[in-house]
Amino acid sequence: MNLAKVDQIAKAVLYEGYMLYPYRPSSVKNRQRWNFGVVYPQAYSDAQCGQEPCSMQTECLVSGNSGTVLEAKIRFLHLRARSNDHSRDANSSLPDGWQEAVEREVDLPLRSPETLCRQLLRKTFAFPAETQVDRRQEAIQGTIDMTASRTGADLFKVSVVVHNHTPLETDESSRDEALMHSLVSTHLILGVEGGEFVSLLEPPAELQELVALCRNVGAWPVLVGDPGQRDTLLASPIILYDYPQIAPESAGDLFDGTEIDEILSLRIMTLTDEEKREIRQSDERARQILERTESMPAEQFMKLHGAVRGLRLFREGTP
């Protein structure tokens, strides 16, 4: 896989909306987070009449032959709730049930598309519950099914379905409780050796009808890497374009897909001492944003002001 590029983009996708400016737990926008890529337990989905998904499906086209090999992995966030013990920290501003996140990753065994045409690949995964003095994490379990079908002489349609099988004590659980048993910010990474993925956004004319038959639910597959490379596909819960890039001027993730780094950095600098104290106490990732911004050198900050990505020659009379 094109892991260097994928990891950079996938990390931004994984934490989209994790915490938003002003990065304080008391801010209304931060009391209910992680609205992207949630795969809920089956029981909760059924209780919501299917309006909240319990699975994510990705379908794509890959060209290859008998030597082609596919690899796949899913990544998601597993929530962890903090209980605020005021007897130990009377100055804590964290609300009870404040949710943090632990990164999870599940790898599938390598398979050829021809093998997947003959036999379903099913991967079962589980992460146990964990209780600490001030933190609680619920168990999660699910499956990943990967199949393929031949659509041409050297062309296959690959399908990957992630399903949340985590049991709930009652199907009437609240959303906050259901989130503790959910896969959050779920996304899939596919790699191919000895073959190429077909762009679902700009497919060749002769493959447009086959691309239209690919059914993606809760996922948006795009090519990742340098333009022209076709060995890596990222199925994101957020709409992206082929070959997404992180601006090289960015000093780090601000958890906002519409990031304007200079403006957000300036706003962070205007926070009061009390607001900064709340950020430092709330979340390790939010604390890193604050410390990174406060220690940013002047020359790095100036780079955020703008950049010219390319120039076109203008001729009089042309649009």
Tell me the per-residue pLDDT of 204-222, one tens digit each, with 9 for 90 and over: 999 999 999 999 999 999 9
Q: Is 239 helix (H, G, I), strand (E, B) or coil?
A: coil
As a whole number of angstroms, the distance between CA 245 and CA 226 comes to 9
Give the residue-averaged pLDDT of 256-281: 66
Which pLDDT tens digit goes with each residue over 88-100?
455 555 666 677 8
310-314-318 Cα angle (round to 5):
125
**pLDDT at residue 175, as a whole number:** 84
* Cβ contact 144:162 at 8 Å: yes
For the chain, give the longest Cα–Cα distance: 74
CB atoms within 10 A of CB 253: 20
CA distances in angstroms from 83 to 71, 182, 230, 250, 282, listed in the order given: 39, 19, 46, 34, 12
In the chain, what percentage of residues exceed pLDDT 70?
71
Distance CA 36, CA 68 (A): 32
pLDDT digits (tens, 9 = 90+) for 145-196: 999 999 988 999 999 999 999 998 765 578 888 999 999 999 999 999 999 9
Q: Is this structure's pTM higher than 0.75?
A: yes
**Spatial separation of the C-alpha atoms in residues 161 and 163, rounded to whole Å:** 6
Give me 296's structure tokens. 């940013």
